[in-house]
Chain A
Amino acid sequence: MTTLITKTITKICLPLVILFSISLLLAGHNNPGGGFIGGVMFASVIALTYVAFGLNYIKSFFNPDWGNWFGFGLLLAALTAFSAIAFSHNFFRSAVEFIHLPFFGEIELVSAGLFDIGVYFVVIGGLLSIFKNVGDDE
C-alpha cells in the first residue's frame, strides 16, 4: 500500500482535507456539513496517512492520544447541553446570537455549534482510536 503514488497524494491531500473538514464543521449550521461529517473526513485522512506511511513511522513523530479527543469532545457536548440549565432553561435549549465584526460582516454564534464541535472531536477520537488500536494489534 505504501507506493510512491499513494504517499504523494496523501501528502497533498492531508492539509487540504483537514482545512475542508474544519470548514464543513463551521459551515454546518446553514450549509451541508456539520460535526459528524467533518469528523469522519478528518478521521479518514489521518487513517489514510497511517496506511500510506505505516503506523509505526507516523507514531514516531505524531502520536496523539485519540482517547483524550473523544473524552473531551463528549465532555464539551455534555456541558453545552447542561449549560442551558444554568440559565434556567430546559436541558438542551440552544441560543442564537448575531454579531457584527469589521471585515467579516455578520457572524452567527450558535450554542449548538459548540455541541457540534463536541461531536466533531468525539467522531475523530472514536474512529481513530479504534483504527489505531486495531492497526497496532499484532
Chain B
Amino acid sequence: MDSFTAITIAVFLPFILAGILPTVEKLLKDKVGWYASAVAFLSLIMVAQVAPEIIHGETIQGTIEWLPSMGINLSFYADGLSIMFGFIVSGIGVIIMSYSNGYMSKKEDLPRYYQQLLFFMGSMLGMVFSANTIQLFIFWELTSITSFMLIGYWRNRPMSVYGATKSLIITASGGLFMLAGFLVLHAITGTFDIPTILHNESIREALHSHNLFIYALILIFIGAASKSAQGPFYIWLPNAMEAPTPVSAFLHSATMVKAGIYLIARVHPIFSGTEAWFILVSGVGIFTMLLAGFLAFRQTDIKGILAYSTISQLAYLMTMYGYTTHHEPGIGVAAATFHLLNHATFKACLFLVAGIVAHEAATRDITKMGGLRKEMPITFIVATIGALSMAGIPPLNGFLSKEMFYESSVEMGHLLGGPYTILIPALAVLGGVFTFAYSIKFIDGIFLGKRPSKGLPEHIHDPSMVMLAPAIFLAGLIILFGLVPSIPVHNFIEPTVSGILLEPTTLHVKLWHGFTTSLMMTIATFILGILIYTQYDRIAEWQNRFNAMFPWFSVNYYYDGAVNNAKDVTFKFSSRMQPGPVKNYVIAVLLLTLAMFAIPATMLATNFIPQNLNFDVPLYEGLIFLFMIIAALGAALLPKYLPAIISLSGLGYLVALLFIYLQAPDLALTQVLVETLSTIIFLLALVKIPQKFKEHIPTTTLARDLIISVAVSAMIFILLINATQGIVPPFETLSYYFIEKSLALAGGHNIVNVIIVDFRGYDTLGEISVLCLAALGVYNLIHSRGEDE
C-alpha cells in the first residue's frame, strides 16, 4: 500500500466503521467499546506505516480531485508534524476507547458515545493531514461539532448543555475567523494549498512584505486561540469538563485543544520571524500561562484543576512557538514540540486517574478527599508519576521539556536584550512555580494526608485492569521518555522540527547536561513552588473573596451577559414580528407580493390587457369554468364548515378536470391526489373542532379582506394574461429541449417524470429532503410541546 492510500484510509476508516457501529453493537452488546478501540488501532497502524518514510526526511502528498475548477481538492500532506499528531490522536484514541469500557456504565447509550468518539478521531486525523486550507477548515469545524456533542453527552444535565453550547459558540466562531484568515492568505498567495506556500520561498517573502499580512496573521491566530483556549477564549474549557472523563482526557487535554497549537506550528514557517508573530503568539501565551496557572488554585473539582492546568500548559506551547527573531525564526520550536508530546502523555494519564478517582470515590471534590494512597496504591503511584512529570521533576519527561522551555526563554530574552533579558525568563519561572504548586496539590489533596471521616464510600479500591492498564501504560511512557529521551526525540521531535523549520535538524537531549542556567531556574522553581504551596489555601481563599467582590472582573460575566441578552433580544424580536394570528401573516405576504408586482408593472406597462386575445373558448371548458366559479363561491359563502370544505375540494377536482382537457395528465393526477389528501386532512381537523358553523365576521373585516382578495386576484389575472405576450417580452420555451432529449438521454417517454427524476433530479433530491425535514419538524413540534406541559 502506498503512503497516500494509507493516510486516506487512516482518515476515513473511523467514519465508515463508525457508521456500522450500531449494527455491531447488536452483536457485541456492551463490549462494543473494544470494537471502537480496534478501529482506532487500525488507524494507528496506518499512521505507523507512513512513519518510517517521514523519519527519513521525506514528505508525502497526494490529491483526489474534488472542485478542480476552484483549486479545492481532497488532498493530504504528511510531514513530521502531521505524523506526530497522527500518532497522538490515534494512539491516545486506542487508550481512551479501551479505558471507556471500564468507565462507561453499561446502561449508557454506548453506540452514540463511541460513534461520536470515532467521528471525532477521524475529523482530527483529517485535519492534521490536510494539505488544503479549506479542507483543514472543514475538518476543524467537524472536531468542534463532535466536541459539542460529546460535552453534551449527558443531555439532560443543564450544566452539560451549557458547557457544550459555550464550547461550540467559542470554537466554531473562532473557526470562522480562521476561515477568513485563510481567505486573506489566498488573496495574498493565490493558493489554498499549504505545501505550495510552505515550500516556495518567494511566496513567503512576498507575504511578509504584503500589507494584508497582519490581518491574515491575526485572523488565523484568533482561530487557533479559540480552539486552544488561549487568552480571553479560555472560558469554554473549564465548562467542557462536564463531559465524561475519557472524553475530557481525549479531546480536552490530549488532542482537540492542541488543534490550535497544530495550526500555529503549521503556519509557523509562513508567519514567524516577524515582531507581530512574537508579540501576538508569545504575548498571549505568557499572559494565559500565568493567568490560568494562578486561577487553578481556587478550583476544588479535580477535573477543574486539570482543565486550568491544560490551559496553562497549552499556553507554554504557544509561548515557545512564538519565540522568534528575524534571524532565528524558531528558537522554541524544538522545546515546544517535545513538550507537546510530553503533555499529551502526562495530562492524559492524570485525566485517566481523575476518572478512576471520581469513579471509585463517587465525588470529584478535592476538599472531600484525602489519604487514598493506602486504598488505591497503584492509582497513587501512577498519579504521582503523572503529576511529578507535570511539575518538572527529574528524571521524568516533563523535566526535560521544562528545561528546554527555560533554555529557549533565556535565549529569547538574551536576543531581545534590555529588560527582557531578565523579564522573559522570570515570567517563565513564575509559570513553572504555579504548575509545580497545583501539581503537588493534585497528589496531596487526593492521596496524602488524612482520610476525611465522612463523605467518602466505605470501601475504595483500585479499579479493574481495564481502567488501570491505560493509565499505567502512559505512566510507563513518561518514565521511558524521561530516561531515554533519544527514542521520542529521534522518532518524533526531529522530523517534526524539520517539518516546521523546513530544514533537517538534529537535537541532543540529555537528562544531565551540567549546571546550566536552566537547571538553576528549575531549582529556583522548586524552592519557590514549595514556598507558594504552603500558602496554597490562603491564595485560593483570596481568589474566592476577590471574585465575590468584583463579579464583573471575569470573561464569563460578559459571555453570560451577551448570550442571555441575545436570547432576550431575539425573543422580543420574534414576538414583535409574529404576534399572530396567522391571517395577518397571509395578509402581509399578499400585500407585499402585490406591491412587488404592481410598482414595476405600472412603471413599465401602458396597457395591462393585451390586444389580440382569443375568446374562442370551447363549450365544455366554459362549463368547467362556470362550475369552478360556483364552487369557489360555495367555499366562501356556505355557513357550515362541512359543506364549505366539500365545495372547496370540488373546486380542486374541477381544476384537475381542466388539466385533463389541457392535456397534462400528470398534473391532473397529482392535483386529484393532493386534493383528496388535503380533503381528508380537513375532515380530520373538522372532527376536532367543536363548532359546526363558521364564526361571525364583522363587516369592516369582511370589506378589508374582500378588497385585498380582489386586488391580489386582479394581479394574478394580469400576470397570467400577460404570460406569453404584453408586458413580459416573449421568451423561448424550454420544453423543446426536454422533448428532444428525454428519450435519447434518459430513456423515458414521460417527459414530466424524466425531468423530475433525471434532468432536474438534484431539485427533486432537495425537495424530498425538505419533505423529510418537514415531517421531522412536525414530530418535534408536537412532541416538544407535550413535554413542556
Decide if B779 touches A33 in the complex (CB within 8 Å): no
Q: Is A22 engaged at the interface, CB distance under 8 Å to the other chain?
A: no
B72-80, B102-110, B669-677: which lies at the interface: B669-677
- Among A32, A43, A96, A131, the residue within 8 A (CB) of B750 is A32
Q: Total interface residues on B, using CB and 8 Å?
A: 39
Query: Which single residue of chain A is at the shortest CB-CB distance from B785?
Result: A137
Q: Which residues of B contact A66 (CB under 8 A)?
A: 775
Q: Is B687 engaged at the interface, CB distance under 8 Å to the other chain?
A: yes
Q: Which residues of B contact A47 (CB under 8 A)?
A: 677, 680-681, 684
Decide if A96 touches B746 in the complex (CB within 8 Å): yes
B498-506, B532-540, B755-763: which lies at the interface: B755-763
Q: Is B692 engaged at the interface, CB distance under 8 Å to the other chain?
A: no
Decide if B673 touches A44 in the complex (CB within 8 Å): yes
Q: Which residues of A contact B676 (CB under 8 A)?
A: 44
Decide if B673 touches A34 in the complex (CB within 8 Å): no
Q: Which of B404-418 contact A (CB under 8 A)?
A: none
Q: Is A58 engaged at the interface, CB distance under 8 Å to the other chain?
A: no
CB distance from B84 to the nearest CB of A (A): 34
Decide if A30 touches B750 in the complex (CB within 8 Å): yes
Question: How far apart sit A118 and B750, CA to CA, in the bound complex (Å)?
Answer: 18
B197-205, B477-485, B720-728, B765-773: which lies at the interface: B765-773
Decide if B769 touches A116 in the complex (CB within 8 Å): no
Q: Is B754 engaged at the interface, CB distance under 8 Å to the other chain?
A: yes
Decide if B753 touches A116 in the complex (CB within 8 Å): yes
Question: How far apart sit A125 and B778, CA to CA, in the bound complex (Å)?
Answer: 13
Q: Which of A95-136 contact B (CB under 8 A)?
A: 96, 108, 110, 112-113, 115-116, 118-119, 122-123, 125-127, 129-131, 133-136
CB distance from A30 to the nearest CB of B (A): 4
Query: Which single residue of chain A is at the shortest CB-CB distance from B778?
Result: A130
Q: Is B665 engaged at the interface, CB distance under 8 Å to the other chain?
A: yes
Question: How far apart sit A33 and B670, CA to CA, in the bound complex (Å)?
Answer: 9
Decide if A34 touches B775 in the complex (CB within 8 Å): no
CB distance from A89 to the nearest CB of B (A): 13
Q: Which residues of A contact B748 (CB under 8 A)?
A: 29-30, 110, 112
Q: Which residues of B contact A40 (CB under 8 A)?
A: 670, 673-674, 677
Decide if A74 touches B750 in the complex (CB within 8 Å): no
Decide if B684 touches A51 in the complex (CB within 8 Å): yes
Decide if B774 touches A126 in the complex (CB within 8 Å): yes
Q: Total interface residues on A, using CB and 8 Å?
A: 53
Q: Which of A10-65 contact B (CB under 8 A)?
A: 24, 28-37, 40-41, 43-44, 47-48, 51
- Among A28, A96, A136, the residue within 8 A (CB) of B747 is A96
Contact (A70, B761) CB under 8 Å given A36-B756, A129-B778, A137-B782: no
Contact (A34, B683) CB under 8 Å given A92-B761, A110-B746, A126-B774: no
Question: How far apart sit A118 and B768, CA to CA, in the bound complex (Å)?
Answer: 9
Question: How far apart sit A130 and B770, CA to CA, in the bound complex (Å)?
Answer: 13
CB distance from B121 to the nearest CB of A (A): 24
Decide if A34 touches B753 in the complex (CB within 8 Å): yes
Decide if B753 touches A33 in the complex (CB within 8 Å): yes
Question: How far apart sit A135 and B752, CA to CA, in the bound complex (Å)?
Answer: 33
Q: Is B450 engaged at the interface, CB distance under 8 Å to the other chain?
A: no
Q: Which residues of A contact B687 (CB under 8 A)?
A: 1
Question: How far apart sit A81 and B769, CA to CA, in the bound complex (Å)?
Answer: 13
- Among B665, B754, B762, B782, the residue within 8 A (CB) of A29 is B754
Decide if A37 touches B666 in the complex (CB within 8 Å): yes
Query: Looking at B677, B752, B762, B774, which has the most chain A CB atoms within 10 Å of its CB?
Result: B677
Q: Is B578 engaged at the interface, CB distance under 8 Å to the other chain?
A: no
- Among B680, B764, B771, B782, the residue within 8 A (CB) of A133 is B782
Question: How far apart sit A47 and B683, CA to CA, in the bound complex (Å)?
Answer: 11
Query: Looking at B747, B772, B776, which has the most chain A CB atoms within 10 Å of its CB?
Result: B747
Q: Is B749 engaged at the interface, CB distance under 8 Å to the other chain?
A: yes
Decide if B774 touches A112 in the complex (CB within 8 Å): no
4 more CB-based (< 8 A) A-B contacts, given A1-B683, A32-B750, A113-B757: A33-B666, A67-B775, A70-B768, A127-B677
* B residues in contact (CB < 8 Å) with A: 665-666, 669-670, 673-674, 676-677, 680-681, 683-684, 687, 746-750, 752-754, 756-758, 761-762, 764-765, 768-769, 771-772, 774-776, 778-779, 782-783
9 contacts between A and B (CB under 8 A): A33-B753, A67-B779, A70-B775, A94-B747, A119-B764, A126-B768, A126-B774, A127-B677, A129-B778
